[in-house]
Amino acid sequence: MLYERSSRLFAEAEKVIPGGVNSPVRAFRAVGGTPIFVKEAKGAYLYDEDGNRLIDYINSWGPMILGHAYEPVVNAVIERAKKGTSFGMPTALETEIAELAVSMVPNIDKIRFVNSGTEACMSAIRLARGFTGRDKIIKFAGCYHGHSDSFLIQAGSGAVTFGTPNSPGVTKGTAQDTLLAQYNDLQNVTDLFNANKGEIAAIIIEPVAGNMGCIPPVDGFLEGLRQLCDAHGTLLIFDEVMTGFRLAKGGAQELFNIKADIVAFGKVIGGGLPVGAFAARNEIMNYLAPIGPVYQAGTLSGNPLAMAAGLEMLKTLNSDADIYTRLDAKTAYLETGIRQKLDETDLVYTINRTGSMISVHFDASPVTDFKSAAKGDNETFKKFFHGLLAEGIYIAPSAYETWFITDALTYDDLDETIAAIGRVSKTL
């Protein structure tokens, strides 16, 4: 494959955009080489500026769960755009998507829309602090909750890919209020509660971690967090920016049958437009301005184009009874295929999967937290990534990311991918 135009476009971009990208992981720094510039995408495929076709396993980092340029979403955006793209006034559309989201997700009465997952998590934390009157939060090493200050403490995703899990620019004061725990380690969390009695406003967690590769919660972990929160008057925040509307209609709350106090959304909920949201039961949501004291706002929040896209996406997911079974079956098929191919080599590996989130770690021991995720052989991953890219398969350019399976992938696409993985893994 040739990447001439991508290389040229990247060189031009680097002159006017820091690192040539508007979000760090896109720059390929973790794997080397030149980022691919996309021209267009349809269904399961990306078409780049050099005319290469790639089977896409990132899908805009999750949102395109039905594939790219899904027609009902595209049409809804076009129709809406003709009527004006922003008003800064309420529209009926906002209530429509709110009603639908509230009906799909368990245990929430009200939802507020924002413009990104970062904003959703940042606002969820502020609300939890306002509601409880406490300052401290617990987050888990390797979990990513967007780039707001409180969360850039041992953060996952791009932050860890570039070795800056703790970013300069975050004040000591802010960092002090973020307590760090190890994923899947209940004792660790219990100790933090005991050392900070009456001070912890919230635990925020990715109920299935997806920003250090895919790491499912071990049995009893989420239940244990729920019990600790109940015992200490602390709110449990599920960051479902990745898992929401992906693992089930009602996200991880539904899948694991565990109630969160506040839920943050992003990615799928916007159908590919910049949308985030946070939701909770009335008692908590009524703490928000204009009816409560906790301030939160946004000029473009509830933007009609974004709401039209999100609404169409949620409608499709809500009305397709088999979608999550289909996604799970396709991803399971891919998992089995990858295992068969890797077993034919001497490579050691661990594959983690929950529903349509899956990741391959080149290490033999179980990957259950950030430490074990970091043990993976990054050199092997780099070669694996570039080998697949040369075969026209696009996975995330970092070992710390999940692959996102879309409903647009056919079994032929999966077979093509598995065959390519077979060829590439023999060269590693």
Q: Which residues bind ligand PLP (CB under 6 A)?
A: 116-118, 121, 144-146, 206, 210-211, 239, 241-242, 266, 276
Residue-by-residue DSSP string for 151-203? G-SS--THHHHTT-SS-TTS-HHHHHTEEEE-TT-HHHHHHHHHHTTTTEEEE
Q: In a 10 Å sphere around its CB, with 0-12 CB exposed, 13-18 middle and 19+ buried, how is residue 145 labelled?
A: buried
Please report how close the Cβ of residue 116 comes to ligand PLP at its closest, in angstroms.
4
Single out the catalytic residue among 3, 45, 144, 394: 144
Q: Is 45 a catalytic residue?
A: no
Helix (H, G, I), strand (E, B) or coil at 370: helix
Retrieve residue 277's tokens. Answer: 């949201």
Tell me the residue number closest to ligand PLP, measured at CB. Answer: 117
118/380 with CB nearer ligand PLP: 118
Please report how close the Cβ of residue 117 comes to ligand PLP at its closest, in angstroms.
2
Please report how close the Cβ of residue 157 comes to ligand PLP at its closest, in angstroms.
7
217/387 with CB nearer ligand PLP: 217
Q: What DSSP element (H or E) covers 124?
A: helix 117-132
Q: Is 239 a catalytic residue?
A: yes
Please report how close the Cβ of residue 184 comes to ligand PLP at its closest, in angstroms.
16
117/272 with CB nearer ligand PLP: 117
Single out the catalytic residue among 239, 369, 407, 413: 239
CB 418 within 8 A of CB 79: no
Beta bridge partner(s), residue 236: 203
Single out the catalytic residue among 139, 267, 341, 382: 267
Contacts of 357 (CB under 8 A, 6+ apart): 208, 210, 214, 242, 243, 246, 247, 331, 402, 403, 404, 405
Round to whole Å and give the CA distance between 105 and 111.
Answer: 10
29/145 with CB nearer ligand PLP: 145
250/276 with CB nearer ligand PLP: 276
Please report how close the Cβ of residue 4 comes to ligand PLP at its closest, in angstroms.
30
Nearest alpha carbon to residue 229 among 181, 270, 276: 181
Retrieve residue 13's tokens. Answer: 């971009």
Round to whole Å and give the CA distance between 254 and 263.
Answer: 12
Round to whole Å and give the CA distance between 253 and 364.
Answer: 30
Round to whole Å and give the CA distance between 316 and 143.
Answer: 29
270/376 with CB nearer ligand PLP: 270
Round to whole Å and give the CA distance between 59 and 65.
Answer: 7
Q: What is the DSSP letter of 27?
A: G
399/421 with CB nearer ligand PLP: 399
In order of 58, 210, 323, 361, the CA distances from 402 in angstroms are 8, 5, 20, 10
CB 385 within 8 A of CB 395: yes
Please report how close the Cβ of residue 271 comes to ligand PLP at its closest, in angstroms.
13
Round to whole Å and give the CA distance between 361 and 424.
Answer: 15
114/408 with CB nearer ligand PLP: 114
204/285 with CB nearer ligand PLP: 204
Please report how close the Cβ of residue 142 comes to ligand PLP at its closest, in angstroms.
11
Please report how close the Cβ of residue 211 comes to ligand PLP at its closest, in angstroms.
6
Retrieve residue 345's tokens. Answer: 């080599």
Round to whole Å and give the CA distance between 396 and 161.
Answer: 11
Q: Is 191 a catalytic residue?
A: no
Please report how close the Cβ of residue 392 comes to ligand PLP at its closest, in angstroms.
26
CB 67 within 8 A of CB 408: yes
Catalytic positions are: 144, 239, 267
